[in-house]
A and B are shown apart, each in its own frame.
Chain A
Amino acid sequence: MYRYDDYDHAIVQARVAQFRGQTERYLAGKLSDDEFRPLRLQNGLYIQRHAPMLRLAVSYGLISARQLRRFADVARRYDRGFGHFTTRHNLQLNWVRLEDAPEILAELAEEELHAIQTSGNCIRNVTTDHFAGVAADEIGDPRPWAEILRQWSTFHPEFAYLPRKFKVAISGAAEDRAAIQVHDLGLQIVRNDAGEIGFKVYAGGGLGRTPLLGQVVREFLSWQQLLNYTEALVRVFNRHGRRDNAYKARIKILVKALGGEEFTRQVEEEWSRLKDGPATLTAAEVDRVTAQFAAPNYETLAADDLCHLSHLREDKAFARWVERNVHAHKVAGYAAVTLSLKKPSAAPGDATSEQMEAAADLAERYSFGEIRVSHEQNLILADVPQRELYTVWHRAKAAGLAAPTVGLIQDLIACPGGDFCGLANARSLPVAAAIQERFEDLDYQHDIGELELNISGCMNSCGHHHLGAIGILGVDKNGEEWYQVTLGGRQGNDARIGEVIGRAFAAAEVPDVVERLIGAYLAHRHADERFIDTFDRIGAEPFRIAAYPTPLEQRRVANG
């Protein structure tokens, strides 16, 4: 992974000092709330319901065992011994003290960690595919480009006060696992006819109040132009994005208002003036960064380990875990492993300090000392030899990291919701836990099969509910929590926004509604059909009927 040189260290250290000064001035009453707010947000610090929340960056989801241990240590000493991994690879501490934030950041900086631009109206942490570098379907490794973009966007002087936040995702594989079409800027690594690497560029995607898929603004951007083009695109946004209404300030609204064609014309016009300028990437720089993501020293192994195969035959529970949590690897004899952070007793994405340390141990012993955070809020060991899987499973189980449910209903995605977040309209976590409890039976879960269920506590859509085959959105009705259900959403190459099926439900109804929706699927499914496939084949109506068994009119009468 990328290791800091003296320049990188100096920049992060300077940030620590700068933020310490800003916090001191705020606490001394020299900075007003309004003045301090954008400054602290650009350093990941929110003032939440109970305490400040500090969002720490996990740049493009990649973290070393040492770094994860440092997170665990900080969470234990400055928080309540756990943290929350988000859908954008970051780690949130929910109970820190404002006064401690500068010291926390100073300690993290020693391990090349920071909270730079994890919030605020600036260019945010770049996200990517959690199988980067190990996926068989990879066209190019997205991590060097993500690092190059990280450096370019870090303290970019022109773009610290954008109309609204700006999120970038990059995918280097045939299958998009980074949800690039729902980002402000989505980059897909492609090769042109001459075999040269470049990017297909999407802009204007996003969830939130106005969910939209990104539009293709360029079919092929040669890699040398990555920063010039991005600078042009963000400049058009900075100059012309709306600033009168925070809900209409994302770039997607500008792209929609101008139309994809006009927006593209403006970006291309701006780019034509920046093209081949000093920010044009050099082969030397790309090589310098790429070298830091070189493949680890893989052993030469047989494609199938005999011991592993016999464990698979003999231990059904292990086989089930392998089926769901172990993923193909491009190198023979290796596999990628998902350490699940999903279970009813904890919020999705939550990890205790002990779990972080256990994951760090596993990474050090079995996976070259690196861990990834997935946007599905799990941890990934990307390079585990097949022969070690059985041991890894046992150890992961002991640490509570081995729920064999990746991709199943229990692997649902949820934001922290009203229990923590100051923006939320409703709580997400009790609903998530109620659903997970309802479907806790493993046989039932495996029978239902792959199903993406996403829960957001408000329209900001941090739980990506629009992308769930079943999406649940918390809404506020006269001070009460209600939940609106969408169906048919999906991520990936064929990304789609789910559709609302009807009136919202009370919290207590949600598990029943989900069960009825799943009942409809089980009743209609053909062999080998996933929930989403059945939905595509038969449409929303059978699900709607299942969700609202009593016609609305009668219900009104019944309720008086």
Chain B
Amino acid sequence: MANKIFKERRLQDDAWKVVNLVDGAAPIDVCLPVGPLLVPLAVWKAKKACLIHREYEHGTPLGIWLSPEDNIEDIAADIDDFTVIAVHFPTFTDGRGYSTARLLRERHGYDGELRAFGDIGRDQIFFLNRVGFDSFVLGEGRNVEDALKAFDDFPENYQGDAVQPLPLFRRRAA
């Protein structure tokens, strides 16, 4: 059965597989299954040539996933290569991924799919969406119906963000 992802405000099939680096394994030794992959930063760095080759030869799109510790500056030069960049939230209280997303969107101009996955649910979606995520793999047991309502939690926001760069004070009716 295909995995599901929450995107464009509905649940869709998802072909992307997350590759994990097992503790102690060398990134270069990770085997790459067929199909579109989200690889950890270390694997991207170690097997970049191989991954790009897959794209050229087989048309397999490139994807990467970042953990909260990862420096996005490490992939700044490669950003246009990715079809999907995923950001992992090991716990929903770890907010580093929010900065990662804004930097990808606003500083590095990334306009591909930006995916949040991990321990996230209905109560995070509104802000995740504002900082630039456009697809979501909800945590175990999180209610998708509920999550759908989250996009409308607030009718207006004070700050600019990845979706609406202008803060409210530049849009406020005089």
Contact = CB atoms under 8 A, between A and B. Distances in A.
Is this pair of chains taken from one and the same complex? yes
Interface of A: 5, 7, 10-11, 14-15, 18, 22, 25, 30-31, 35, 38-39, 121, 151-152, 154-163, 227, 235, 238-239, 243, 273, 278-279, 281-282, 285, 288
A38 B93 contact: yes
Q: Is chain B's binding surface mostly helix, strand, loop or mixed?
A: loop
Among all A-B residue pairs, the 5 with the closest Cβ atoms: A161-B95, A157-B130, A157-B127, A285-B169, A151-B158
Contact of A22 (B93, B123, B155, B158): B123
A22 B98 CA distance: 22
7 contacts: A10-B155, A31-B123, A121-B93, A161-B98, A163-B95, A239-B96, A278-B170
B168 interface: yes
Contacts of B166: 278
Nearest to B171: A7
Contacts of A159: 95, 98
Nearest to B155: A10
B53 to A, nearest CB: 33
A278 B165 contact: yes
A287 B155 CA distance: 25
B3 interface: no
B154 A11 contact: yes
Given A278-B166, A279-B159, A285-B169, A155 B96 contact: no
A152 B157 CA distance: 9
Interface string B57-72: 0000000000010000
B122 to A, nearest CB: 8
B48 to A, nearest CB: 24
Contacts, number: 100
Contacts of A281: 169
Contacts of B94: 161, 243
Given A160-B127, A243-B68, 19 more contacts: A7-B172, A11-B157, A14-B155, A38-B93, A121-B93, A152-B158, A155-B157, A157-B126, A157-B127, A158-B98, A158-B127, A160-B98, A161-B94, A235-B99, A238-B95, A238-B98, A243-B94, A278-B160, A285-B170
B170 A282 contact: yes
B153 A18 contact: yes
B161 interface: yes
A159 B96 CA distance: 9
Contacts of A279: 159-160, 167
Nearest to A241: B96
Contact of B131 (A14, A158, A239): A158
Nearest to A151: B158
Contacts of A161: 92-95, 98
A25 B167 CA distance: 32
Nearest to B89: A161
B143 interface: yes
A163 B69 CA distance: 13
A163 B91 CA distance: 12
A30 B144 CA distance: 12
A30 to B, nearest CB: 7
B110 to A, nearest CB: 15
Interface in B37-54: none
B168 A7 contact: yes
A430 B126 CA distance: 45
A156 B162 CA distance: 12
Nearest to B98: A158
Nearest to A286: B169
Contacts of A22: 123
A35 B146 CA distance: 15
A273 B107 contact: yes
Contact of A11 (B121, B158, B160): B158
B159 A156 contact: yes
Contacts of A243: 68, 94, 96
B29 interface: no
Contacts of A5: 172
Given A18-B153, A161-B92, A239-B99, A151 B168 contact: yes
Contacts of B92: 35, 38, 161
Nearest to B93: A161
A278 B127 CA distance: 19
B74 interface: no
B102 A158 contact: yes
A35 to B, nearest CB: 7
A73 to B, nearest CB: 27
Among A14, A15, A152, A160: residue with most chain B CB under 10 A: A160
Nearest to B168: A7
Given A157-B130, A157-B161, A11 B156 contact: yes
